[in-house]
Structure 1
Amino acid sequence: MNGLEYSRLARAVIDQKEDLMNEWEWLSKRILPRSRDVLRQLKTPARDFKRENCAKACEALHTLAGAFITHVTPSGQKWFEFEDKSIKKSKTYENWYRHATDVTLDALTSSNFYPSLQETHVDRCLFGTGCMLCESKKSGGLSFKHIPIGSYGIAEDKEGNVDTVCRSFKYTAHQAVQAWGIKRLPTEVREAFNRPERRFTEEFEFLHLVMPRKGYTLGNGRADVPPRKMRFASVYLYNGGSMPIVEEGGYPEFPYLVSRFLKWDNVWGYPAARKCLDELEAVVRMYRHLDKLAELAVYPRFFVDAEQEGDIDYRAGGETVIDRSIAGLNLPREWGINGRLDWGLEHIKELEGKIESAFFVPFLRVISSVDRQMTATEVVARQKEQVIGISATFSQFVYDFNVFLERIFAELFRQGAFNSDAATQPKDFIVEAPDGIDYSVTVPGVSYKGVISQSIEMAQRQSMDYAMQTAAQYIQFTGDPSAMDCIDISKAIKFLFKVSAAPSEVYRDKAEIEQVQTDRQKAQQQQLALMASQAANQQSQAVRNVSE
């Protein structure tokens, strides 16, 4: 594709966000004002200033976004673990996967991953979609960048996975030359760079388009694959004039994390606040009325006789001289301040409760107070209904993040961060291409260890415990043991072992379990043979006794 074709494609992708821009601006104004105009109004309010945002919704948003950081991706803790996803699991490679997990977590901690992910979580919870870019640094390691909502467009493949992103960003002439060199830039950018008064101040718009490439070299294990033969095309365009191509390269994996809060009827996510839009507007409107009522209580309105205009002293301790004829009229006097402030506050409390429920705040309060106030049984009882609601967005995040984790894992592997050799590396980890030169990296399975994941599994455990207890009661009542035939006891025990967060070292792998079962069968057969031999000996002795 030439520059013009790339530019038309890029604009088509990024412009399809316009249908939701009004909604995103409304949510930003009501929940988390960030635009310069809104902040300026809050800092220097005009005389006719009206409350626009809901503080309770802002608090609920940060509670939900913070919960994903604290209870799903906590910094400084092992919140995920690579594991062997092959059918024949082997304990031989557990150390390799454990080492890869530790290296990956250390790489994320030493980068700007967590600050960027925090902003991505806020966008995901507020607007329904969050976006973050993962790049490799020339000096080694990883670099992450949060992409603000409204600055990019996305497109999906036939499976509903985001595989195309076009974002818009601005660089000064100084930054553009640092990124690409002065020879690749258009005339207007070079002219600004050569003018000291414009070099660091004047900004120019660029586009970054990432999309699947039809013809690409199989394999993401080699670090020396030419960028133009990689699986995803990466094109930087100058958004001005004829929009020339500034840089054309590629990525072996999709470099963007695009996580939707929930999926709905288009490529964009379904925000949590969509369940409480009416309550948000009602709270803001109610606060506006209560603001006026409180202001009237402090600065009441007055009826004033026409002859008193300009002669009344409203200052504290002020004295106003009036005529006896006017004194009989009881003027000035207050009017229109009979609103019920307590009723308004009670109604606001009810509306704010619905807003908190939309952001799962009641559920998050429960799991945050597990260790301080309640037993595990009480926690499960209170969590069960809320878990059903939050498990959908948690599962969506895990699904989206697994794709992003493939990018992180493969990039660290190409940098040699794992330092593994053929002896310790899993046999099926490398998949060779037909040409015998290129090869792909098989990304391990991922197990999440966060508190929300444990809460969801705990609710599942409670349901399984109830089913097994019911079956046991049925057997006890009827004496029919066939009720347990439909339950795989070994799988049930394995699940209970997993959700109990017990150390993995004490759980036997498949080969060890089979060996234990084989040894048990041999022992049983030996015991049966011994019993048969003893019975035969006893019978023989009995025959001899009878003969004698």
Structure 2
Amino acid sequence: MSIMADSIADDVMREQSQLAAIRAPWEAHWQECAQFVLPRQDEFFGARSPGGKRTEKMFDSTAPLALDRFTAAMEGMLVPRTQKWHRLRATDPALNKIPAVIAYFEEATEILFRSRYAPHSNFPNQINETFASLGALGTSAMFLDDMPGKGIYYKSLHLSEIFISEDHRGRVDKVHRKFRYSVRQAVKRWGLDQLPADMQQVYAAEPERKFDFIHCVRPNEERHPARADFKGMEYASYVIVCDSRSLVHGGGYRTMPMPVSRYRTSPREIYGRSPAMEALAAIKMINEMKKTMLRAAHKQVDPPMLIHDDNVISRLRLVPNGLNVGGVDSQGRQMIQPLQTNARLDYGLQMLEAEQRTINDTFLVSLFQILVQTPEMTATEVLERAKEKGWLLAPTMGRQQAELLGPIIERELDLLAANGVLPEMPPELVEARGDYAIEYDSPLNRAQRAEEAAGFFRTIEGLTPLAQLSPEFSKVLAEKFDADAVIDMLVDVNGVPQRLLLSEDKRRAKEQEEQDASELQGILAAAPVVAKTAKDMAAAGAAAGAALA
């Protein structure tokens, strides 16, 4: 190994020690949250055996179920599988009026979604696991890379593998991933010649033996923008074998391949805090309460028995049809009685339900159920609720668009462009250096725009009584609004698929057909009158000619 490679490996290992020290206080917290909320990711202090039980400490399922609903809601509100939840636009508004630019971004968006939801991409299930980590642990990470000949693939990363650092703007710009590979996997990934000598020797005898690796992605401090190789890229990338401190692979990325997202952060913390952390006291309490309730209910259903101490009953038989000799005295009084604890299970249930509501509120479950629980609402009330939901969810989910989805889209476009999959840019866009903006059109964004529709319906509801009193007022009201603009607004807010709408060309053609048909109908209707007039005129002319003769 060269001196430079040794220096890089030592530098990465020093960074790893620093990042591990920063992360250390979080690990016990993550472990506790995972035990009660996301047991399948309970691996922060050593690897656990695959297939083993991980729910030993769980007595109540409220928190895991709330996390499942939270995850489903995040996916449904931000990245619904059946909708195009974002569009691409030029940053310069003037360019968005040029047909060639519009067509380019429409085609690029279409290619993006086809690639993202291709069968081999794994995006839907991996984004779901990423949101689960976000809800339980507060921080999530995903890896995006190119699969030669197939396209982009996505992999949600376990938080135990991730170590991060921020830049001066609070963006995660340095990521270390510590993971384990077997020697066979390492050979397939980087080649036998790239591995240190000790691993090459192990490969022949124990190809499945595992080693620890660190993948470091950090800003390229020695970047030369004019260069086309990895030295001209935005991020430097190094893979190190931990045991031998050996550099296995060095390269770079034009865009961040491991976007990291946080649910909520304190100004002095770089790792995120999750709904599970905020509700951890209630989650732990509800598990203890459930244990107590189970014991109390068990005593009620199968109570302890009180027996008189006279040695008459040698063995108590509580099975059906069991005979207990000496169970009554000579006067017929029971000598065996259940212990009455007078336990108030109803009090326990009330407290349990209160804590369940707290947990559901923290995971936003109650908010997502608003429209489901109150179906008998007017259109205005539905829009008002949607608007409120948009306001309440904007800080939480808006951050995911900035920290997770934005970098994912940037990475996707970079990979697709590198593979020559994107269409050729029109000259106007090339001149603007290809600058683009992401316009999100998810259910969350439409909920935030619901205020416009709600304002329209409030106005109509307020003016309708006046219109009913005065036909003249009704006429003015009907003429006041632009019907096309109102329809376009409601179509946008309610997410009506564009394929259901007539294009402008088809609308004009349809209007022309209707106009032509109307003119033809008028001609046909006038034909008998014209024919009769002609006939009358001909008859009159013939009569006049006869008179002159």
Does the C-alpha gap of structure 1 residues 16 and 329 become closer, same or farther in structure 2, counting only changes over 3 Å?
Answer: farther
* Counterpart-to-counterpart distance in 1, 2:176 and 2:357: 38
- Aligned partner (choices 350, 356, 380) of residue 354 of structure 2: 350
Match of 1:244 in 2: 246
- 1:496 Cα deviation from its structure 2 partner: 8.0
2:203 and 2:50 map into 1 onto residues whose CA distance is 33
1:363–1:383: 8 Å Cα contact kept in structure 2?
Answer: no
Tell whether the 8 Å contact from 2:134 to 2:140 is kept in structure 1 after alignment. yes
- In the alignment, structure 1 residue 365 sits paired with structure 2 residue 372: no
1:231 maps to 234
Q: Which consecutive unaligned segments of at least 5 residues does structure 2 have?
A: 1-6, 43-47, 463-481, 505-549
Letter in 2 for 1:199: P
The answer to whether residue 452 in structure 2 is matched with residue 448 in structure 1 is no
Deviation at 1:2, TM superposition (A): 2.5
Question: Who wins on radius of gyration, i.e. which is larger?
Answer: 2
Matched, 1:115 2:132: no
d(CA) in 1 for partners of 2:191 and 2:51? 37
Match of 1:473 in 2: none
Is 2:449 aligned against 1:457?
Answer: yes
The alpha carbon displacement at 1:119 in A equals 0.6
Q: CA deviation at 1:360?
A: 1.3
Is the Cα–Cα contact under 8 Å of residues 235 and 254 in structure 2 kept in the other structure?
yes
Are the aligned partners of 1:17 and 1:150 in contact in 2 as well (CA < 8 Å)? no
Matched, 1:289 2:292: yes
Equivalent residue for 1:262, pick from 254, 261, 264:
264
Decide whether the 8 Å contact of 1:14 with 1:154 is kept in 2: no
Equivalent AA in structure 2 for residue 419 of structure 1: P
Q: Could you say what secondary structure the match of 2:178 adopts?
A: strand
Given that 2:386 and 2:450 are in contact with CA atoms closer than 8 Å, whether structure 1 keeps it comes out as no
Answer yes or no: is the 8 Å Cα contact 2:380–2:457 preserved in 1: no
What's the counterpart of residue 90 of structure 1? 97
Take 1:360 and 1:184, find their aligned partners in 2: how far apart are those partners? 49
- Tell me the equivalent position of 1:17: 23
8 A Cα contact 2:88 2:437, kept in partner: yes
How far residue 40 of structure 1 moved from its aligned partner, in angstroms, is 4.4
Alignment of 1:405-424 (within 5 A): 405-423=409-427
1:403 paired to 2:411: no
Distance 2:54 2:308 in 1: 37
Q: Tell me, what secondary structure is at the counterpart of 1:83? A: strand
Q: Report the CA distance between 1:463 and its aligned residue.
A: 6.7
1:99 corresponding residue in structure 2:
107
Aligned amino acid, residue 245 of structure 1: L
Q: How many angstroms apart in 1 are the aligned matches of 2:289 and 2:51? A: 22
Contact 2:390 2:445 in 1 (8 A): no
Aligned ranges 1:142-291 → 2 under 5 Å = 142-195=152-205, 198-200=206-208, 202-218=209-225, 225-241=228-244, 243-265=245-267, 266-291=269-294
Write the distance in 2 (CA, Å) between the matches of 1:218 and 1:293. 70
Partner AA of 1:12 in structure 2: Q
Distance 1:275 1:21 in 2: 16
Query: 1:156, 1:236 → 2: CA distance?
Result: 20
Structure 1 residues 452 and 231, CA, compared in 2 at 3 Å: closer, same or farther?
Answer: same
The residue type equivalent to 1:232 in the other structure is Y
Structure 1 pair 381–421 and aligned structure 2 pair: CA distance change class (3 A): closer
- TM-score (normalizing by structure 1): 0.76
Q: Offset at 1:142?
A: 0.8
Confirm whether residue 321 of structure 1 aligns to residue 325 of structure 2: yes
* Whole-angstrom CA distance in 1 between matches of 2:413 and 2:145: 12
The residue type equivalent to 1:450 in the other structure is S
- Which residue of structure 2 aligns with residue 382 of structure 1? 385
Cα separation, 2, equivalents of 1:310 and 1:337: 25
Distance in 2 separating the partners of 1:37 and 1:178: 25
**How many Å separate the matches in 2 of 1:255 and 1:293?**
53
TM-score by length of 2: 0.75
Question: Quick one: distance in 1 between partners of 2:335 and 2:54?
Answer: 38
9, 29, 37: which one aligns with 2:35: 29
Count of paired positions:
461
The aligned amino acid for 1:292 is: R
Contact 2:141 2:158 in 1 (8 A): yes
Q: Distance in 2 between matches of 1:323 and 1:140?
A: 78
User: CA separation of 1:399/1:324 partners in 2, compared to 1, >3 Å: closer, same or farther?
Assistant: closer
Aligned partner of 1:536 in structure 2 is none
Conserved 8 A contact 1:121-1:130: yes
Q: Deviations for 1:462-484, whole angstroms, at most 9, x for unmatched residues? A: 479879999xxxxxxxxxxxxxx
Identify the match of residue 137 of structure 1 among 137, 140, 147.
147
Give ranges in structure 1 of 5+ residues lacking alignment: 46-50, 431-440, 471-488, 509-548
Following superposition, the deviation at residue 506 of structure 1 comes to 9.4
CA distance in 2, matches of 1:395, 1:448: 10
Q: Matched residues in 2 for 1:139 and 1:38: separation?
A: 32
Give the residue type in structure 2 aligned to 1:95: A
CA contact (8 A) 1:387 1:459 kept: no
Q: Distance in 2 between matches of 1:234 and 1:180?
A: 14
Query: Could you tell me which residue of structure 2 aligns to residue 480 of structure 1?
Result: none
For residue 233 of structure 1, report the CA deviation from its aligned partner: 0.8
Deviation at 1:254, TM superposition (A): 1.1
Q: How far off its partner does 1:146 sit? A: 0.8
The structural deviation recorded for 1:27 is 1.2
Q: Structure 1's 174 and 276: CA in aligned 2 closer, same or farther, altered over 3 A?
A: same
Q: Is 1:366–1:383's contact at 8 Å kept on the other side of the alignment?
A: no
Distance 1:422 1:255 in 2: 28
Shift of the 323–6 alpha-carbon distance from structure 1 to 2, 3 Å rule, reads: closer
When the two chains are superposed, the root-mean-square deviation of aligned CA atoms in Å is 3.4
Mark the CA change 1:248 to 1:53 in structure 2 (over 3 Å): closer, same or farther: farther
- SS of residue in 2 equivalent to 1:208: strand
For structure 1, which segment, 111-120 or 498-507, has the greater mean C-alpha deviation from structure 2 after superposition?
A: 498-507
Distance (whole Å) between structure 2 residues aligned to residue 95 and residue 368 of structure 1: 39
Give the Å deviation of 1:208.
Answer: 0.7
Cα distance change, pair 113–335 in 1 and its aligned pair in 2 (3 A): same
- Give, in angstroms, the shift of residue 239 of structure 1: 1.4
